[in-house]
Amino acid sequence: MQLLDGKYVSNKLKQEIAVEAVELAQKLGRKPHLVAILVGHDGGSETYVASKMKNCETVGFRSTLIRFENTVTETELLHQIEKLNLDHEVDGLIVQLPLPSHIDPERVTEAIDYRKDVDGFHPINLGRMQRNLPCFIPATPYGITLILKEYGIETAGKHCVVVGRSQIVGLPMSILMARNSQPGNCTVTLCHSKTENIASYTQNADILIVAIGKKNFITADMVKKDAVVIDVGMNRESSNETKSGFKLYGDVDFEAVASKASWITPVPGGVGLMTIVGLLKNTLSAARKEIYV
């Protein structure tokens, strides 16, 4: 087994981004700027947004966090988005999900200017991705393609099984792997909560990408020998072993599956770190007006 090391690759790519950020800042007369909107105080969301902001600073971007209480109305939130859409000093704009139940996430997603949608969730970006046109690709799937590229993992002609059909990870990932692109050109199976006998599919996967949000869901008997295994799981459990007070677990039983896989991502230290890189690369592209003017 060899490790797909998200720590190593993310650090390497962040150094490259930092160099490009300096050049761009000289050209623009200001730093690339990401704005994140966070509603409420969900523990996971707090952690992820804090990490996004910190990583922006690390690579020399400006970052702004705008917070709302859970009581914010949809209209107030849409107003704030409208203002940021028009602000020429904002390159990328993300609204952390999930949102409280009285706010429609679809309306919020579509309210964001697609040219600033560095999460790649807007239907224009998703539609363009499907057509293999320049667009913002959702950060986690984008990060996964970057780590596959870095390690030269061959994907063309392989059977890729994606477990989980979320709008953020599983569904866009399945499109990327099926596209005529590099990585891509896979035969793709998309499994989800209604799939009968998931193991019968995962056992035939050359590349197995798991984003189902269940600790140790994938066991060794579900994996083909020498498969490439990508674990997107971010299952938080409270723990008194760590400083933060919680511990992260993947969707894959790492110890057992690692002995069967040819390549595998660890949790933590795998896909989570690559997601940040995907977001940073999208923000750099937005500031450069590389995709949309």
What is the binding site for ligand GUN (CB under 6 A)? 94-97, 119, 139, 168
When the beta carbons of 95 and 258 are compared against ligand GUN, the nearer one is: 95
By annotation, the residues acting in catalysis are: 52, 96, 119
Minimum CB–partner distance for residue 226 and ligand GUN (Å): 30
Minimum CB–partner distance for residue 55 and ligand GUN (Å): 13
When the beta carbons of 119 and 231 are compared against ligand GUN, the nearer one is: 119
When the beta carbons of 94 and 126 are compared against ligand GUN, the nearer one is: 94
Q: Which residues contact 210 (CB under 8 A, 6 or more apart)?
A: 163, 164, 217, 218, 229, 230, 231, 232, 233, 250, 251, 252
Closest CA to 32 of 217, 279, 208: 279
Minimum CB–partner distance for residue 45 and ligand GUN (Å): 7
When the beta carbons of 95 and 188 are compared against ligand GUN, the nearer one is: 95
Rounded Cα–Cα distance for residues 256 and 258 (Å):
6
Minimum CB–partner distance for residue 164 and ligand GUN (Å): 13
When the beta carbons of 72 and 258 are compared against ligand GUN, the nearer one is: 72
Minimum CB–partner distance for residue 28 and ligand GUN (Å): 24
When the beta carbons of 163 and 168 are compared against ligand GUN, the nearer one is: 168
Minimum CB–partner distance for residue 17 and ligand GUN (Å): 17
HEC readout, the chain = CEECCHHHHHHHHHHHHHHHHHHHHHHHCCCCEEEEEEECCCHHHHHHHHHHHHHHHHCCCEEEEEEECCCCCHHHHHHHHHHHHHCCCCCEEEECCCCCCCCCHHHHHHHCCCCCCCCCCCHHHHHHHHCCCCCCCCHHHHHHHHHHHHCCCCCCCCEEEEECCCCCCHHHHHHHHHCCCCCCCCEEEEECCCCCCHHHHHCCCCEEEECCCCCCCECHHHCCCCCEEEECCCEEEECCCCCCCEEEECCECHHHHHCCCCEECCCCCCHHHHHHHHHHHHHHHHHHCCCCC
